[in-house]
Copies of this chain bind each other. A is one copy, B any other.
Amino acid sequence: MDRKTITALKKIIGAEYLHTAKEELLCYSYDGTGQEFIPEAVALPASTAEISAIMKLASATPFPVVPRGAGTGMTGGALPIAGGLVLGLSRMNRILEMDVANQVAVVEPGVITGDLRSKAAEHNLYYPPDPASFKFCTIGGNVGECAGGPSAVKYGVTRDYVLGLEVVLPDGRIINTGVRTAKGVVGYDLTRLFVGSEGTLGVVTKIILRLTAKPEAKETLLVLLDSIDRAVALVSEILAHHLPCTLEYMDRTAIELVADQFPEPIPATTAALLLIELDGDQKSVPLASKRLRDFLQNAEQVLAVHTAHNSKDAEQLWAARRRVSPAAFNLRPHKVSEDVVVPRNRIPELVTTAEQLATASKIPIFTFGHAGDGNIHVNIMLDRDNPTEATAAEHAKQTLFAKVMELGGTLSGEHGVGITKANYLPMELSAETLAVMQSIKTLFDPRNILNPGKIFPATKQNEENN
């Protein structure tokens, strides 16, 4: 980006919101992958009109533009791998409307997901998607990646709550998609084409979200089992007759990592645990909880069922669950975390594969995640500076992905593709399907300026375009 471009950008958004100093650029160079790419400049626009003007300039020049929320993404969606401009959306952080009667919110992309959840709660409303990073990540980033979370088993993912969007296209045109009503089928579903497109088709500048009534009550159960197969079979049995809002599991290694964090001691024979939550109205939750407890206490191979008696107890269970990821670094300094999905009755086969890979590759591999969805976080721990472990980790990842495909699964349930999974896409998508997606990218962004190098596997042509 030359001096003239920088001057033009400053004119669009004001000099104080256009950063080129090295120490500023560094702040926008990394994300949840731990990888780092320094952009040439960072713009912090305050309006759709400013973003439209930036995109017009970027198309005409051309230079790459990478939209960025809070940088909590796990696959590199916000990394400026081809240089250019990072478009930081932190100043566009207003909740524009909270329409209580219609259970709709209209927000800017920089709103923190947790802030929206809190604001909704003040009006007895609920925004269900709850990615682990919800206290930091933004709705815009959630829309870009189609983020999920533990509550997806009952409530679905980000896609299921986006009613409509305002989007700036790569050439600067501004379009509105979707509706602000519960239903709407006029024309093609552009809204969901943008959701999960990882900032490669347009910059989302306004989001219309569906909310629901806030559940009045919640109960949390912890179930300990002596076998992972039994745990997973139990998941299907539970979902056939109960509707939990969370159905998480942890394998033996994950349990061992945080065993001392639980309110009650974990028996040594525990091979898997399930963390289950039920929500709903004050009167029905205790009833549903009792019904589920009765079922669990009569189920085979269940070692114990603990009930959190109050929100403090429940929080302690969740704190233990959330400690798994950080505690993993006690095993090795680096982590490759994959959020693969398999049909949920195939989870035992996936976990067996992970265990076998750990033994064969001599690096720790453990699993936990959203058992109700079959969305399992496989954590491959390594020391990247140890070439043997680096090779073993890469091999383990490839073997894991091949197994996921064999089991009828998908490479990503909620993290997206970004750069970390791009080269594995041909394992899941046929050449024809990939060609259709690539042609949509070219249709929207013929000069390949918007978040280039993401999603699609590197090809000679892609590399030249970048």
Mark A residues whose CB is within 8 Å of B.
Answer: 99, 101-104, 124, 145-146, 148, 152-153, 156-157, 159-160, 169, 173-177, 179-190, 192-193, 195-197, 201, 213, 236, 239-243, 280-281, 283-284, 287-288, 291, 341-345, 370, 372-375, 408-417, 421, 425, 428-430, 432-434, 436-437, 439-441, 443-444, 455
Contact = CB atoms under 8 A, between A and B. Distances in A.
A439 B441 CA distance: 12
A303 B441 CA distance: 57
A182 B195 CA distance: 17
B287 A291 contact: no
Given A160-B160, A288-B281, A101 B188 contact: no
Given A160-B160, A169-B436, A186-B428, 20 more contacts: A145-B185, A146-B185, A156-B160, A180-B343, A180-B408, A182-B374, A182-B375, A184-B413, A185-B417, A186-B412, A188-B196, A189-B195, A189-B196, A213-B239, A213-B240, A213-B241, A242-B281, A281-B288, A283-B288, A283-B291
Contact of A181 (B99, B195, B410): B410
B412 A185 contact: yes
Contact of A243 (B101, B180, B213): B213
Nearest to A160: B160
Contacts of A153: 182
- Residue of A181, A240, A372 ringed by the most chain B CB atoms within 10 A: A181
B430 A176 contact: yes
Contacts of A169: 436
A341 B455 contact: no
A15 B345 CA distance: 44
A45 B374 CA distance: 36
A246 to B, nearest CB: 14
A10 to B, nearest CB: 28
Contact of A186 (B288, B421, B432): B421
Contact of A410 (B145, B179, B370): B179
A378 to B, nearest CB: 15
Nearest to A158: B185
Contacts of A412: 184-186
B177 A433 contact: yes
A173 B410 contact: no
Contacts of A343: 99, 101-102, 104, 180-181
A425 B287 contact: no
A196 B185 contact: yes
A341 B436 contact: no
A245 to B, nearest CB: 13
A73 to B, nearest CB: 12
A279 to B, nearest CB: 11
A414 B193 contact: no
22 contacts: A99-B343, A101-B345, A102-B344, A159-B192, A160-B160, A176-B433, A182-B372, A182-B374, A183-B373, A183-B374, A183-B413, A183-B414, A187-B425, A188-B196, A189-B197, A190-B433, A190-B437, A192-B192, A280-B284, A281-B288, A283-B291, A284-B284
